[in-house]
Amino acid sequence: MTEAEVIELVGIHGANAITSFTVYISFTFGFLATAHFVGASLTSAQTIVATVLYWVAAASATACHALFNQIVFATLESSPTLLDDLPLMQGAVWVWGMVFIELSGIAASTYFMWSVRHPAAK
């Protein structure tokens, strides 16, 4: 593969990774908005359904984000390019760092829904 082909593939798969992250953010915002505006009035069954759907959707987006990031860095490892010298092109940081951040967001969002449904005693 030529250097130009590697850089083109990195751009394509990098765009896919960003799209997956955008989908994750959209699901998370939707879940948090739902929790904020109607969470207290949802039944237990509705809360469980919404939470499980959110977990599946957000975890799927997280997995896709990680996959496309892995493809980017595997492509970069296949042939040397001018991108190799960029300090931000650290595969493990992007793949596992973003997975950690997104899973933390899922946990925090779930806690937010719980806190809306179980307000502290006043």
On whether residue 32 sits in a domain, the answer given is yes
Tokens of 10: 């990195």
On whether residue 122 sits in a domain, the answer given is no
Q: What's the pLDDT tens digit per position in 54-89?
A: 999 999 999 999 999 999 999 988 888 878 888 777
122 residues of the chain, pLDDT tens digit each = 888 998 899 999 999 999 999 999 999 999 999 999 999 999 999 999 999 999 999 999 999 999 999 999 999 888 888 788 887 778 888 899 999 999 999 999 999 999 999 887 55
On whether residue 62 sits in a domain, the answer given is yes
On whether residue 31 sits in a domain, the answer given is yes
On whether residue 41 sits in a domain, the answer given is yes
How many domains does one find in the chain? 1
Which residues fall within 8 angstroms of residue 67, CB to CB, at 6 or more apart? Answer: 20
In terms of residue numbers, what domain contains 98? 3-117
**How far, rounded to the nearest angstrom, does the alpha carbon of residue 80 sit from its chain's CA centroid?**
28
| 45 to 33, 52, 78, 116: CA distances (angstroms) | 18, 11, 49, 15
The DSSP 8-state label assigned to residue 42 in this structure reads: S
On whether residue 26 sits in a domain, the answer given is yes
